[in-house]
Amino acid sequence: MSFIDNFLARWQEYREPGYYKEFDYAWTMTIDLDRCTGCEACVTACQAENNIPIVGERGLAQGREMQWMRIERYWEGEYPDIKLGFIPMLCQHCDAAPCETVCPVSATYHNQDGLNAQVYNRCIGTRSCAVYCPYEVRYFNYNNHHWDAPLDEQLNPDVSVREKGVMEKCTFCIQRIRQAKDTAKDEERRVGDGDVQPACVQTCPAEALVFGDRNDPQSQVSQSMNDPRAYHVLEEVNTAPSVVYLKKVETDAG
């Protein structure tokens, strides 16, 4: 029965390609809410790095902000007994991402680095991925955006400018990851810890954000993930996110 065994093995291989069990790199980010000051430097850095359009006053009023990374603010209590909590929200690069199953044209898929990739050229704009995403981190180009001179001079040449009718979202600065992987390949080694940082991590003044490969147990991010404060946002939805939050510890016991 070697034919059947062979067939079953091939079938298994087809059903579960290797990287579904283990990614080449499992890029992960931890966000320490205890350190986050809500300064929004990450938001600005992201905007500059990834050619994210400024939607302007009208777009903002229509609720069409484009911020791949946003700081959600939650107020607790009534003035003057008021507390403010921040939570930076970006694409969680879920390993069981609802957005990937729903795209009819596979414009969003999981790559071998455990990233949730978005192919702008393939997107037909059904916007179903944005509906399926429980974190609301997918942003749609409701119209063509343009950069007034001289702002167009500062567009990042490594990142495409998206046209109307296309969905976009955080890529974990895939252009930087690609570059780091290329360099590492030339030097015939793996990408080391700290070789690559997305724009938001690089910018965070409080060092609340840590980025790295969780396949490497020695990396800073793996150690940070083991913190007892670690949790996933909306864990009950079972999306297996790659972004880990470290809970804020309440110090004022009064």
Bridge partner list, 243 = 29
User: Which CA distances in Å does 118 have to 78, 166, 200, 233?
Assistant: 41, 10, 19, 22
Rounded alpha-carbon distances, angstroms, from residue 217 to 25, 55, 145, 195, 226? 12, 41, 42, 16, 10
What is the C-alpha to C-alpha distance for residues 191 and 188, in angstroms, rounded to an integer? 10
* Minimum distance from residue 170 beta carbon to other proteins (Å): 15
CB of 89 vs other proteins, minimal distance in Å: 7
Nearer Cβ to other proteins (164/185) = 164
Q: DSSP assignment, residue 91?
A: -
Give all strands (DSSP E) within the chain, no chain letters.
27-32, 70-76, 83-89, 108-110, 116-118, 139-140, 167-168, 209-213, 230-231, 243-246
In whole angstroms, the minimum distance from the beta carbon of 107 to other proteins comes to 9
- Please list, in sequence order, all residues whose beta carbon lies within 8 angstroms of the beta carbon of residue 181, skipping any fewer than 6 positions away: 25, 191
In the complex, minimum distance from the CB of residue 141 to other proteins, in angstroms, rounded to a whole number: 7
Provide, rounded to whole angstroms, the least separation between the CB of residue 123 and other proteins. 7
The residue among 17 and 63 lying less far from other proteins, judged by its C-beta, is 63
How far apart (Å, rounded) are the C-alpha atoms in residues 49 and 170? 11
Nearest residue (CB) to other proteins, 108 versus 171: 108
Bond before 80 cis per omega within 30 degrees: yes
Nearer to other proteins, 65 or 182 (CB): 65
Residues lying near other proteins in the complex (CB under 8 A) are found at 59, 62-65, 70, 72-74, 89, 98, 101-106, 122-128, 130-132, 134-136, 139-144, 164-167, 234, 236-237, 239
Tell me the closest approach of the beta carbon of residue 94 to other proteins, in angstroms. Answer: 11
Structure tokens at 57: 């006053």
Of 108 and 175, CB closest to other proteins: 108
Nearer to other proteins, 98 or 192 (CB): 98
